[in-house]
Each structure stands twice: as C-alpha cells, then as structure tokens.
Homo-oligomer: A and B are copies of this chain.
Amino acid sequence: MKQKVLLTGFEPFGGEKVNPSWEAVKQLHGEENDEIRLVAEQIPTVFKQSIETLETLLQRHNPDIVICVGQAGGRTDITPERIAINIDDARIPDNLGNQPIDEPISDHGPAAYWTSLPIKRMVKEMKEAGVPASVSQTAGTFVCNHIFYGLMDYLGRTSSNVRGGFIHIPFIPEQTADKEAPSLSLDMIVKAIRIAAVTAARHESDIRTVGGATH
C-alpha cells in the first residue's frame, strides 16, 4: 500500500543563506510511485514554534511516515539519528532570538525517545547506493533535537501508528566556499533522503548491524 511520507526541512540559520535540508526536501515534493508519495514542508528554525508548525502539518497531511531533516554543518556524511533527548540548550539564538539554556522540551516527558525509523537499514541502503552515511548517537540540543523530540512526543501522546525520526545532513558545497568543512552535493543528499523514505516505507523493523560509537 502506498505510504505518504512527510519530509520537513528547516529555514537557514546561524548566518547561512540556505539550509540544505530545505533545498533537498523541496526537490522531492510531489514525487510519487507505487510505494511512496512525498510531501515536503518547511519548518521555522525556532524553538516551540517549530513543533507547533509540525503538529499542524501532521494534522493537515495525515502522513504514514515523517522524516524531519536538518543541517549538521561539519559532519561528513548523512546521519540518521538514533535518539532525541528532552532538553533545549542553545549555543546560538534561534531565528527569533530565543536561546533557552537547559530547559526541558516537555515538562512531563521522558528523558529521551528512540527513533521509530529503521535507521540501520537506511544507512545500509545509502551506502550501497554510494552515499556516505552512518548512525548518529546525538542530534545535539538545538532546534533539530527539539523538533525530533517534539515529533516523537506527539506521536506517543496521540498513540499514533505513524513512524518518524530525524536525519542530519552535511553542508552542500556552496556553503563551504569560505570554510574548511566537508560537504556533500545536493544531488547526493536528495538521493539519500529518497532512499530513507523508500526504506522506511518498505520496512517497519530494523536490522542488526554495527552502528555504534565508542564515545
């Protein structure tokens, strides 16, 4: 049965002119085949407001699967995230100037939520397609982790069958002209997110392969 996959990308932040997460998912908007139908939306890079926007989108689109995507400048590969933690601790202000320090995202929520996406399968499929990828053990404590936690908390509170998670992506080359930072081409990022969507649509359970970190 065809599954509707909601993809979200963020507004640019931290002085960048583009956010590769939005540049990538907007290219996938409207793609459809026998397995998936992709819908892409942009989310403000703002604490709280990002979660409110996401909840509205969940109600509007009623997706089967949700994949939020965000920029992780400095990483070398595509990194599906394993876990969201219940804390906001902003190193820089968000796009409305909020800078929460050590505040819980949900006052009564658990310390952390696991992704419900098959992240190791995704990594395996991405690598087999020539896209560098690995599991990440931390989504940070900024708006990316915030929306990831907010997503999993909402899905839990609403006893939803919807599965969801978060993927961090590197800079794209146009962002690294003046920095010494790794990057991946936008084409490759688009390809990776398409693979993530298809993999999530095909498989509810994950595989057991090495994907941890010694620290």
Which residues of A approach B to under 8 Å, CB–CB?
14, 70-77, 82-83, 85, 87-92, 99, 101-102, 110-114, 120, 127, 130-132, 134-135, 137-142, 144, 168, 172-174, 176-177, 180-188, 206, 208-215
Contact = CB atoms under 8 A, between A and B. Distances in A.
A89 B120 CA distance: 12
A91 B112 CA distance: 22
29 contacts: A14-B214, A72-B215, A74-B215, A76-B76, A76-B176, A76-B180, A83-B85, A85-B112, A88-B212, A89-B212, A90-B212, A99-B210, A101-B209, A101-B210, A102-B120, A102-B206, A110-B110, A110-B111, A111-B112, A111-B114, A127-B174, A130-B173, A130-B186, A132-B177, A140-B214, A144-B215, A168-B215, A182-B182, A185-B187
A69 to B, nearest CB: 12
